[in-house]
Amino acid sequence: MTGAFDFAPAIALLPLAAFAVALFGGNYLPKRGALAGITALVGSLVLSIWALVTVAGGETYDADLYTFVAGQDTLSLHLGILIDPLSALMLVIVSLIALLVFVFSLGYMNDEDETGLPRYYAELSLFSFSMLAFVFADNLLMAFMFFELVGLCSYLLIGFWFREAGPSSAAKKAFLVTRFGDYFFLVGTVGIFATFGTGMFAGSESFPHMAEQALAGEHSVRTFLGLGEQAWFTVLGLLVLGGVIGKSAQFPLHTWLPDAMEGPTPVSALIHAATMVAAGVYLVARMYGFYLLSPTALGVIALVGGFTALFAASMALVKQELKQVLAYSTISQYGYMMLALGGGGYVAAVFHLTTHAIFKALLFLGAGSVIIAMHHNENMWDMGGLKDKMPVTYYAFLSGSLALAGIFPFAGFWSKDEVLYETLIHGFGGSPLLLAGYAMGLLAVAFTGFYTFRMVFLTFHGEPRTADAEDPHGVRWNVKLPLAVLGILAAVAGVINLAPVEKVTGIHLTFLHDWLDMAPDSFGTAVHHYTGDHGLMHEFAGYTAAHPLGETGTVLVGAAISLGLALAGAGLAYRLYAVPSPTEHTDKLGSLKTLLMNNYYQDEYQVWLARDVTLPLSRAADTFDQSVIDGVVNATSSVSLFAGERVRRIQTGLVTHYATLITLSLVALLVVFGYLGGWF
């Protein structure tokens, strides 16, 4: 009998086919290849939903597709598919967002008469293919391969308008910065293969499971560098985390993401909502069983996440371009997900990943719609008063903004609240480090509320400040449809996991928790295996939950604090910017504003690192190579040359002389042998 899983490879292969079609036949197709992509993504979405439904029926799938290195008594490398609740959910998200981005591109690219569209659609299809294959990868090596492909596609798409200086340099920056992180990921992958002999994510032969057994003393593995098992697993986890920090734009490798705004806006939506940036967080969730074994790695994840959430949110406060604000909010929101993962909130992280994918795609597509209307001017100070002229965009954007700011009852409120709640209770349960992460996350909530509504008010409210804002360019159905779909989802997607309501009323509402818990025990990826009473989190990470005000009280107070801070931020934005002719208030921040506008001089710092530290270092290495290493080699050869030049003189060409030399040498040899042999 054929089921959904027999078609699982097609989920990724359909966009690959669309890539080929758009690349080679795009010029001859009616919409320059868009229709091929849309058809393929519809197919992927249908198959993903079918897989989701099948998983809901209690079935999971883990199969090898193709073994490219078959090892005997050693590791073998293969491509395989793992479909469990986590990957099934992610497949649906990715294919849904990608489909909507394709539709939106019809309005953003085709209607604007851009050139190079077949290339655009081909790259977009390849991007979807890479991400979908990354999501259902069943081993670390396959994940790494598609992780890299995703990076390549983002390079191609960010640099889509490669004839201009900005996009091409932004593309290079994105590629190099993420490559820097991926280097650590590669080392970590090799380390995991060397340690466990496998890179499988799930099952009894998987590396998280083997690591767990090793720590429990049931099984021994080979460690390196003379480290104990615990310490070595921490090193491996942190190495892989390097790739995650690069791709998910966490501090200090976040600098590529704001520059990536140079790409077409639909691409930004895809990169920031569902694919590239999500890949990092998804990878941590995928191998969460491994990270739970190392409290140190978890602490690093939580601190990096909490710090990034606050750090990026503070930079978003003063930005003038619409997409820049969204870019920093993306970094900040992924910081929340990392905070949740580090704080033991596996479900919370996946929940926030889901809702963020929806509302951030919505916000970017909304921004795209505004940018079309404003004739590709992105400066918010040139907008204003767009509310009445583009109502669909406005209401959808507002829905996304409310979700981003975490205002009750929009999707973002539920997920962000759960992230903070999980961090808080585990922080009180004996991990004070998490409380620091919690405090940073909480402060970032207020910042988020402020910058989100500053953006909304500047863009849509008040009086139009330029001629373009007076008379915006209209947008068609292909822009409005994705906005409407996502706008509704952003408002209601929170219902999949109403954990606070469940805790207060007792009605069972945590559907996402149940869903992720459905993974079979043999996979070892279910929630109860991670964070249940006897799960890894208690056994190995040492996290326990404590409710200082009782369970209900903690839930309510935590939610009230974060909602209050979000409303306070939004209220401040309302007071300052919801006036007919808003003025810049950022100057009141004084030198802090300069610091924020310059992104804490992170770019300058990295340029300094490259130019004033790395470059002299490489120059010194080059000098060493040219003088010492090459010097030794050249000296050796010159000795031979010189000696040869001298010895050559005895070659007279006269046979008699040669015979003399031979005879004399023979005599000399005899004398030497005789002397050594004691004849004399």
CB 663 to other proteins: min, Å: 6
Query: Mask 379-408, x = binds other proteins (CB under 8 A)?
Result: ------------------------------
Minimum distance, C-beta of residue 680 to other proteins, in the bound complex (Å): 18
Q: Would you give the distance in Å from CA 169 to the centre of its chain?
A: 20
What does the block give as tokens for 367?
């921004």
Q: Looking at the DSSP assignment, which residues form a beta bridge with residue 69?
A: 77
Residue among 579 and 666 whose Cβ is closer to other proteins? 666
CB of 676 to other proteins, least distance (A): 22
Q: Please, what is the minimum distance in Å from the beta carbon of residue 643 to other proteins?
A: 18
Q: Is 598 an interacting residue with respect to other proteins (CB under 8 A)?
A: no
Give min distance, CB of 168 to other proteins, in A: 59
The region of 218-226, 484-492, 538-546, 657-665 touching other proteins under the rule CB under 8 A is 657-665
Does position 651 bind other proteins by CB under 8 A?
yes
Among the listed residues 656, 678, 679, 680, the single contact to other proteins using CB under 8 A: 656
Judge whether 497 and 351 are in contact, CB under 8 Å.
Answer: yes
Work out which of 67, 634, 663, 665 binds other proteins, going by CB under 8 A.
663
SS3 343: coil
- Nearest Cα residue to 352 out of 343, 561, 488: 343
CA distances to 60, 82, 622, 667 from 525, in Å: 11, 11, 49, 85
Query: Distance (Å, rounded) from C-alpha 656 to C-alpha 116?
Result: 82
Burial category of 602 from C-beta neighbours within 10 Å (exposed 0-12, middle 13-18, buried 19 and up) = middle
Structure tokens at 384: 């204003």
Residue 665 binds other proteins (CB under 8 A): no
In this complex, which beta carbon is closest to other proteins, that of residue 631 or of residue 674? 674
Identify which range of 8-16, 451-459, 615-623, 659-667 contacts other proteins by CB under 8 A.
659-667
Q: What is the spatial distance between Cα 405 and Cα 329, in angstroms, rounded to a whole number?
A: 10
Site for other proteins (CB under 8 A): which residue of 588, 654, 678, 679? 654
CA distance 393 to 378: 15
Smallest distance from other proteins to CB 623, Å: 41
Examine residue 655 and tell whether it contacts other proteins (CB under 8 A). yes
- Residue 653 interacts with other proteins (CB under 8 A)? yes
Which amino acid type is present at position 161? W
Q: Which is nearer to other proteins, 635 or 667 (CB)?
A: 667
Q: In the stretch 497-536, what mask flags binding to other proteins with x, by CB under 8 A?
A: ----------------------------------------
Q: Which is nearer to other proteins, 27 or 660 (CB)?
A: 660
Task: Give buried/exposed letters for 643-661 (b at 16+ CB in 10 A, else e).
Answer: eeeeeeeeeeeeeeeeeee
d(CA 227, CA 223): 7
Q: Residue written as tokens 């491994």?
A: 290
CA distance 251 to 638: 53
List 620, 628, 659, 669, residue binding other proteins (CB under 8 A): 659
Residue (225 or 655) nearer to other proteins, CB: 655
* Nearest distance, CB of residue 625 and other proteins, angstroms: 38
Nearer to other proteins, 647 or 654 (CB): 654
Query: Tokens in use for 584?
Result: 């810049």
What's the closest the beta carbon of residue 655 comes to other proteins, in angstroms?
5
Shortest CA distance to 121 belongs to which of 27, 47, 53, 44? 27
Closest approach, Cβ 661 to other proteins, in A, equals: 11
Q: Closest CB to other proteins among 63 and 666?
A: 666
Stretch that binds other proteins, among 423-431, 487-495, 504-512, 653-661 (CB under 8 A): 653-661
* Strand locations in 317-431 (E): none
Of the pair 655, 676, the CB lying nearest other proteins is at 655
Which of these segments, 236-244, 611-619, 636-644, 645-653, binds other proteins (CB under 8 A)? 645-653
Partners of 379 in the beta sheet?
321
Cα separation, 437 vs 308, in Å, equals 10
Phi then psi for 287, rounded to 5 degrees? -110, 40
Closer residue to other proteins (CB): 591 or 651 = 651
Kindly tell me which residue out of 27, 204, 626, 652 binds other proteins, with binding defined by CB under 8 A: 652
**Is residue 449 within 8 Å of 405, Cβ to Cβ?**
yes
**With respect to other proteins, which residue has the nearer C-beta, 613 or 661?**
661
Q: How far apart are CA 597 and CA 595, in angstroms?
A: 6
Q: Which is nearer to other proteins, 2 or 656 (CB)?
A: 656
Token pair for residue 279? 């890949």
CB of 638 to other proteins, least distance (A): 22
- Choices 320-328, 354-362, 649-657, 671-679 (CB under 8 A): range interacting with other proteins: 649-657
How far, in whole angstroms, is CA 536 from its chain's centroid?
A: 25
The C-alpha atoms of residue 293 and residue 311 are separated, in whole angstroms, by 28
Query: Which of the ranges 584-592, 604-612, 626-634, 655-663 carries the binding residues for other proteins, by CB under 8 A?
Result: 655-663
Angstrom distance (rounded) from CA 70 to CA 296? 35
661 binds other proteins (CB under 8 A): no
The size of the interface with other proteins (CB under 8 A), counted in residues, is 9
Amino acid code (one letter) for 645: E
Count the Cβ atoms, other than its own, within 10 Å of residue 79: 18
CB of 624 to other proteins, least distance (A): 41
Closest CB to other proteins among residues 27, 663: 663
Q: Please, which residue, 580 or 653, has the CB nearer to other proteins?
A: 653
Residues 202-241, mask of contacts with other proteins (x by CB under 8 A): ----------------------------------------
Which residues within the stretch 459-478 sit at the binding site for other proteins (CB under 8 A)?
A: none
**254: number of Cβ within 10 Å:** 27
Choose between 637 and 656: whose C-beta lies nearer to other proteins. 656
Minimum Å distance from CB 656 to other proteins?
A: 6
Write the DSSP string, 486-547. HHHHHHHGGGGG-HHHHHHH-----HHHHHHTTS-TTTT-SHHHHHSTTSHIIIII------
Enumerate binding residues for other proteins (CB under 8 A): 651-656, 659-660, 663
